[in-house]
Amino acid sequence: MPEMTYRDALNLALKEEMRRDPSVVTWGEDVALYEGSFKVTRGLLAEFGEERVKDTPISENTIIGVAIGAAMGGLRPVAELMTVNFALLAMDQLINHMGKIRYMFGGQINLPMVVRAPGGGGSQLAAQHSQSLETYFMHAPGFYLALPATPADAKGLLKSAIRDNNPVIFLEHELLYNSKGEVPDDPEFLVPLGSAEVKRPGKDVTIVAYSRMTVLALQAAAVLEKEGISCEVVDLRSLKPLDTPTFVDSVKRTGRAVVVEECWQTAGLGGHIASLIYEQCFDLLLAPVQRVSGLDVPMPYSRKLEKLCIPQVEDIVKAVKETLTAKY
């Protein structure tokens, strides 16, 4: 399999799906002439033309609203938001329309659309541009939510999202765009939505993570392996649908769990994951579930302070060691 960056894997997925299906279109701020803020849409305008690749006004509410109408009319739009932080300006369209139209129409129409958005912290972009908002979308019904951690999963999940008849919010961590990995060049390579994956087998503790935190979890597992601690790393990949059986089965085998999330801890996804583990693994748990989360503060601009607000490898290592020594 060829090796490529996360960015190029997404680009390849878009090109393959637009070549396969003429109803697939893409639009957003600077996606055509400028080829996207992170160059994910590089080469699309040249290959597919301005009828299928369009620059839009700086209006997130409009970008999503037009995509909803296009999907209802038979197209398969991929709408790009320059950053997930700007999705807050389109929450009415996302939550009240995209998430509810199929339900309110009694399932008589499909809504095959994807909303792509980069996000996450660690780039010194300060409080308004460094947020992880997945729990906002996790809370609202009516659409799927995918957060790939590797280039292969980025390609396979995006292709599945474009082909699905349900709306999908597809979140890409900004610090992953330059990461590299092997990616199948098969145009029919798909990663099913709602399927978690055990990225690393282990026997002492289960680390449940997603997006960039999966990468850090794997790094932490490598550090702990040198100390004789065997960590199983489960990458959720999708938050809706949530593949609960995969991480629950893992915790049943190891008896211990650490949940890692970049978003704020209060009402965060980690609490939901922990509750599912307690509900389904309580009698088999050897220690309380540990949570590693972002701090409940607006993101500072200072690099040193920013690092303190986002989970790091050493934080995951510490949590694993704590759960190994803790007892009920």
Interatomic CA distance for residues 171 and 189, integer angstroms: 20
Q: Among all residues, which ones are annotated catalytic?
A: 60, 129
Of 193, 284, 273, nearest to 238 by C-alpha is: 193
* Averaged pLDDT in 10-residue chunks for the chain of 328 residues: 96 98 97 95 97 97 98 98 97 98 94 98 95 96 98 98 98 98 96 98 98 98 98 98 98 98 96 97 96 97 97 98 88
Residue 81: closest CA among 65, 69, 95: 65
Helix, strand, coil percentages (3-state) for the chain, rounded to 5, are 40, 20, 40
* CATH node for 197-325: 3.40.50.920
Domain 3-182 has CATH 3.40.50.970: yes
pLDDT for the residue numbered 61: 97
pLDDT of residue 161: 98
Fold match between 3-182 and 197-325? yes
Instruction: Give the type of residue at 39.
Output: K
Q: Is the pTM of this model over 0.75?
A: yes
Task: Give the torsion sign (CA, 252, 234, 325, 273).
Answer: negative
Domain range summary for the chain, segments of one domain joined by + = 3-182, 197-325
| pLDDT given at position 45 | 98
